[in-house]
A and B are shown apart, each in its own frame.
Chain A
Amino acid sequence: MDLFLQQLLNGLSNGSVYSLVALGLTMVFGILHVPNFAHGAFYMIGAYVSLTIMSLFGIPYWIAMLISMFAIALLAVISERLIYHPLRNAAGLHQMMGAIGILLFLVAFAQVVWGPNYQQMSSPYNGAISIFGTTFTQQRIIVIIATVIIMLILHFFLTKTMIGSAIIAMAQNREGAYLVGINANMVVMLTFAISGILAAAAATLASPINLVFPGMGDLVIMKAFVIIIIGGMGSIPGAIIAGYLLGIVESFGATYISGDYKDVIAFALLVIILTVKPTGLFTRRAY
């Protein structure tokens, strides 16, 4: 029972991080119809920014997270302006090449600035707490709660504000959005900024549990792609649900099948779900 609860918590906290990363990826896909391969690098840089300002200036964890969110939003918007925007009328392949260029650049940048080593991020929640007689890592609880709060804020923004709804509108009908007076550039930049914010939050939440290193985004982004394919490309609820699903299945798979297969489970899940439902869990209806 202890083991079960612990694995459930591990699954939920990993799933939270996956969902946050996948959310940004799926939103950008919904608007641009381009898989942003650089998203994992945004995640990685987000971790380094938090780590650096915490260790260099002694800035508290949550403030560091806010600064990192802002920095990665800016990084994402600059990438959009410099790379995606000039390529907006080119074939999709060119944009993917641009994305890989950003990815390689940022990983090399991290290697030069922070070095190739694994680094540890401390958080105020390094201890363990005991609930119903089972011990949990505090940070994992923090990850779960913070993710729910971030998702609620995002939900409120996307559904209750006109600017936020403009993102949804543009994903549902691009020309329809232009014709009600929505500025395409504004929406694209805003979407990239949000994806950056989510990536930085996810990275800062996950880093005290995992480690910070230049390749930390690679596996996360691969799984995020699996998640948005499972959830239905461009679907926001799909990304959330599939993110938690993957986290939980991985966690239990690692315990009850074998830890060696943890990272393969994502792809097994992908194959199984696409076999049963080739369009993913939440298909955006085509109109």
Chain B
Amino acid sequence: MSQLKFKITDMSVNYGPFTALQGINIDVKQSELVVLLGANGAGKSTIFRAISGLNKPSKGEIKFSEKKVNGMSPDKLVKLGIVQCAEGRKLFPEMTISENLRMGGFVHRKNKKELKTMMEHVYELFPILKDKKDDHAGSMSGGQQQMLAIGRALMSRPKLLMLDEPSLGLAPLIVKQMFEIIQRINKEGTTILLAEQNASAALKIADRGYVIENGQIVVTGSSDQLLNNEEIRKAYIGA
């Protein structure tokens, strides 16, 4: 596999007159699991939306393996392998689980065999999805919907997978499982950028992290450094 390099340089994003992000610098290397920590409204989802092409940065550059990718449309980015499992899951509620997964493989639709293998893999990661494969996505519990959202993102064979607060609103036991699965996906070779408020759980599985406050990166470092940082412990871990 070619070495993946992902780099955001000095990116700003506005919502109308409001500056949501300013001077963001992030880089992610092949096979890393990097976490973006930040409270509500810090700007985590905005970073992901900009990377995915849903919002256009007003300034700065996003590079993916030496290729400038800001300004590209969302579907082209998915084809390149930049895929996100978004906040709010954004499933197709009246489609069944298996149909949602099938749509997840939209960019590989010509390759039926690959789709089948990927689907098997997703079912293996989340056996509950296989049991309920003919149920409508809209009828599932929050945890199951989150699993489906991750599974759907995996179907497009991401090189860089962004996960936006996958633990949000889930029961503690499910959260634990969720982080284990995220770690497993990473170990299997997928580079992951994870947005979280649950700092202690996220830092346990991450290699490195960035802390975002009010649209700016305030601290960055390895997971150990961040876990031992007094201020971060106070603000995000509460210990």
Contacts and interface: CB of A to CB of B under 8 A. Distances in A.
A and B from one complex: yes
B52 A179 contact: yes
B190 to A, nearest CB: 16
A180 to B, nearest CB: 5
Contacts of A125: none
Interface in B139-161: 152-153, 155-156
Given A168-B95, A182-B75, A287-B138, A173 B90 contact: yes
Contacts, number: 79
Contacts of A169: 92, 95, 103
Contact of B156 (A181, A183, A184, A284): A181
A173 B137 CA distance: 12
Given A173-B93, A180-B106, A182-B106, A165 B86 contact: no
A177 B78 CA distance: 11
Interface in B87-126: 89-95, 99, 102-107, 109
Given A165-B99, A175-B54, A287-B138, A181 B106 contact: yes
A3 interface: no
Interface in B61-85: 73-75, 78-79, 83-84
Contacts of A173: 90-93
Nearest to B155: A180
Contact of A179 (B78, B99, B102, B138): B78
Contacts of B95: 165, 168-169, 172
B83 to A, nearest CB: 7
Contact of B78 (A181, A184, A284, A287): A181
A166 B106 contact: yes
A178 B104 CA distance: 10
A181 B102 contact: no
A173 B54 CA distance: 14
B94 A179 contact: no
Nearest to A185: B73
A176 B90 contact: yes
Contact of A176 (B75, B92, B107, B156): B92
A190 B188 CA distance: 38
Nearest to A172: B92
Interface of A: 162-163, 165-166, 168-169, 172-173, 175-184, 284-285, 287
